[in-house]
Amino acid sequence: FQALDNVPLLLYILAAKTLLLCLAFAGAKLYQQKKIEAAIKKQLEQEKKLTQEAKELIDNKKDD
């Protein structure tokens, strides 16, 4: 019966461990999401730059 005395402590430890794991996974997910958003933003900026350069080339051709 002495083993049952430690049950509340073990439950607290289990709850704390579960909470830490959840926070770790949430943090990893946020990190991945921000990384993906940065990559998408970079790609959109490159596409915008290319579009602007193409537009300038077309305008220069029309002027000639």
Q: How far apart are CA 37 and CA 44, in angstroms?
A: 10
Helix (H, G, I), strand (E, B) or coil at 61: helix
| pLDDT by 10s per residue, the chain, length 64 | 677 888 899 999 999 999 999 999 999 999 999 999 999 999 999 999 999 999 999 988 887 6
> Ramachandran region of residue 27, left (φ > 0), alpha (ψ -120 to 50) or beta?
alpha
Helix then strand then coil, in percent of the chain rounded to 5, is 95, 0, 5
Q: Check: pTM over 0.75? Answer yes or no.
A: no
